[in-house]
Amino acid sequence: MLLLTYKALHNQTPSYLTDLLHHQTPSRTLRSSDANLLSLPQRTKHRTWVIGSKRQSIRSAGPLVRASGSSWDKREETARDGEYLLGIKRLRRLYCNVGIGFHIQVLPNGKITGVHNENRYSLLEMSPVERGVLTLFGVRSGLFIAMSDKGKLYGSGHYNDECKFKENLLANNYNAYESAAYPGMYIGLSKTGKTKRGHRVTPTMTMTHFLPRI
């Protein structure tokens, strides 16, 4: 601070800083008149600092800072959304720790089942389509995992709204996959590896908890 003040006094700083400094001008002659002292800013009851002829309100600065921060947050969020939509596709297997443990597989005939051991039909491409929403694509079968309005899982050869799922992170670090087209319906596997109807399961049930594995 002292170095900055010294530079301002010797015109080594921008003018907006130099203009803030004012030499003390006593109303009568004092021994300190030649001491080259600076005047202190006056403070009013409205928390407004008066520096020379310039007035700057701290109170009015608050909304400006908040507005600026809010605007920045929005730009930052938009940038994050853009990056998310450009999305990194993940190759994963979804493991459900129910029964003996199953991975979801997408068979060429469009059937969705659980299989204990990893195989070529259990490899999925997880692609973001919007914030928090993704598709699950069977790499080998070439079919999307989709859910009908009856809660039945099936393999779709074409992308549509029934292929979109919300990826919800659970407290136990597993994920639950909710149909974006039919909220309240979840992907689930039974203890024997068969798929459950989406409306008959909830995210509190282990059969809807999945762990993406590499």
Residue ranges per structural domain of the chain: 2-22+36-85, 90-213
Q: What's the pLDDT tens digit per position in 38-61?
A: 776 655 444 444 444 444 443 444
Span between the terminal Cα atoms of the chain, in Å: 55
59 by Cβ neighbours in 10 Å (0-12 / 13-18 / 19+) ranks as exposed
C-alpha–C-alpha distance, residues 176 and 163, integer Å: 15
Domain 90-213, CATH among 3.50.50.100, 2.80.10.50, 3.40.50.300, 3.30.390.50: 2.80.10.50
Whole-angstrom Cα Rg for the chain:
32
Q: What is the pLDDT of residue 85?
A: 45
63 — pLDDT class (breaks 50, 70, 90): very low
Mean per-residue pLDDT, 28-44: 64
- Which H/E stretch holds residue 81? helix 58-86
Task: Name which residue leads in pLDDT, 69 or 193.
Answer: 193
C-alpha–C-alpha distance, residues 33 and 202, integer Å: 81
Q: Which of 167, 160, 130, 129 is nearest to 145 (CA)?
A: 160
Residue with tokens 């919300």: 166
Q: What's the pLDDT tens digit per position in 117-140?
A: 999 999 999 999 998 999 999 999
- Give the tokens for residue 61: 């600065």
- Quick count: other Cβ atoms within 10 Å of Cβ 168? 14
Q: What is the pLDDT of residue 2?
A: 66
Q: What is the pLDDT of residue 196?
A: 96
State which of 19-23, 50-54, 93-97 shows the largest mean pLDDT: 93-97
Cα dihedral value 59, 64, 65, 69, nearest 10: 150
C-alpha–C-alpha distance, residues 50 and 195, integer Å: 72
Amino acid letter, 84: Y
- Indicate whether this model's pTM tops 0.85: no
Q: Which of 126, 129, 124 is nearest to 142 (CA)?
A: 124
C-alpha–C-alpha distance, residues 157 and 144, integer Å: 6
Residue percentage of the chain with pLDDT more than 90: 56
- Give the tokens for residue 117: 């051991």
Amino acid letter, 62: G
User: Do 203 and 168 touch, CB atoms closer than 8 A?
Assistant: yes
Task: Name which residue leads in pLDDT, 129 or 29.
Answer: 129
37 — pLDDT class (breaks 50, 70, 90): confident
Mean per-residue pLDDT, 80-109: 82
